[in-house]
């Protein structure tokens, strides 16, 4: 899963193209960023609209308050404006059209979050893995299989996750929303340092995870299901494919330390 990289925090909607293209100054773009952030996030009503747009429906008051809090944390950070200014200046230099400019903004926000996930402390990275398993369980089996075979677009994955999050109670909603917000802010701050696992530890973590995953699969699924998946993953039913992948993913949470921390960090680094 690509970490719902489209950010449950902000949207590229409404980013205007400086004009004339190719001639925008940094001052004019920075002013455009300030106006757009004010329009999209500057009032409670605007924030409520962004929350509805993100999750597809109004959230319960407690969850909406959390979502708006984290939106404010991000958009009020001075380096966030710097990032958007640089993205829009680059789009202007490349003479991108408005659709391409909006995509460039979305890509930059996606990268901000996914890169920041690598900076999170191990407890938050573990929360993220458990969350991914829960999102997979929330999907219907066909979409779940498509997820693990790379047949869902980033947008489709984001929609699935946002629908799942919209139904969460206040405490789990705040927990995962905080993880994503902290990731974006960590990347803006360039701190803490990215978790790096050396080759020797990576091999040890991989071996431990492979054994743990195998044990979990053999203990929880019929032998014929596991054998069929190992022989030809495409041939098994969507339910069986979903079960195999989610059980294997969840098994890394049960690893002993330090293998658990190493394996989860390597998993998140793949984003």
Q: Residue for token digits 């109670």?
A: 169
Neighbours of 170 (CB within 10 A): 14
Q: Sign of dihedral through CA atoms 116, 120, 124, 128?
A: positive
Mean pLDDT computed over every residue of the chain: 90
Across 197-209, average pLDDT: 98
- Tens digits of residue pLDDT in 107-116: 999 999 999 9
Higher confidence at residue 10 or residue 246? 246
Give the pLDDT band of residue 21 (cuts 50, 70, 90): low
Looking at the chain, the whole-number percentage of residues with pLDDT higher than 70 is 92
For the segment 121-156, what is each residue's pLDDT rounded down to a tens digit? 999 999 999 999 999 999 999 999 999 999 998 889
CA 47 to CA 271: how far, in whole Å?
28
How much is the pLDDT for 145? 95
Q: What is the pLDDT, as a whole number, of residue 114? A: 93
Q: Map 93-131 to HEC letters.
A: HCCCCHHHHHHHHHHHHHHHHHHHHCCCCHHHHHHHHHH
């Amino acid at each position: 899963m690509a970490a719902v990289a489209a950010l449950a925090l902000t949207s590229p909607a409404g980013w205007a193209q400086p004009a004339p293209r190719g001639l925008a100054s940094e001052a004019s773009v920075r002013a455009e960023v300030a106006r757009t952030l004010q329009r999209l996030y500057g009032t409670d009503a605007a924030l409520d609209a962004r929350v509805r747009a993100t999750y597809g429906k109004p959230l319960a008051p407690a969850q909406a308050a959390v979502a708006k809090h984290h939106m404010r944390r991000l958009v009020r950070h001075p380096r966030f404006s710097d990032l958007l200014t640089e993205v829009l200046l680059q789009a202007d230099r490349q003479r991108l059209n408005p659709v391409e400019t909006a995509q460039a903004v979305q890509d930059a926000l996606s990268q901000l979050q996914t890169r920041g996930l690598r900076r999170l402390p191990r407890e938050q990275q573990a929360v993220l893995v458990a969350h991914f398993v829960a999102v997979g369980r929330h999907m219907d089996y066909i979409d779940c299989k498509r997820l693990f075979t790379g047949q869902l677009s980033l947008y489709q994955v984001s929609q699935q996750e946002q629908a799942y999050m919209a139904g969460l109670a206040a405490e789990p909603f705040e927990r995962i929303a905080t993880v994503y917000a902290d990731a974006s802010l960590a990347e803006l701050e360039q701190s803490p340092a990215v978790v790096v696992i050396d080759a020797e530890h990576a091999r040890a973590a991989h071996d431990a995870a492979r054994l743990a995953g195998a044990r979990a699969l053999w203990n929880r699924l019929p032998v014929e299901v596991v054998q069929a998946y190992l022989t030809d993953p495409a041939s098994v039913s969507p339910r069986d494919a979903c079960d195999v992948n989610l059980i294997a993913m969840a098994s890394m949470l049960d690893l002993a330390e330090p293998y658990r921390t190493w394996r989860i960090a390597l998993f998140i680094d793949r984003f």
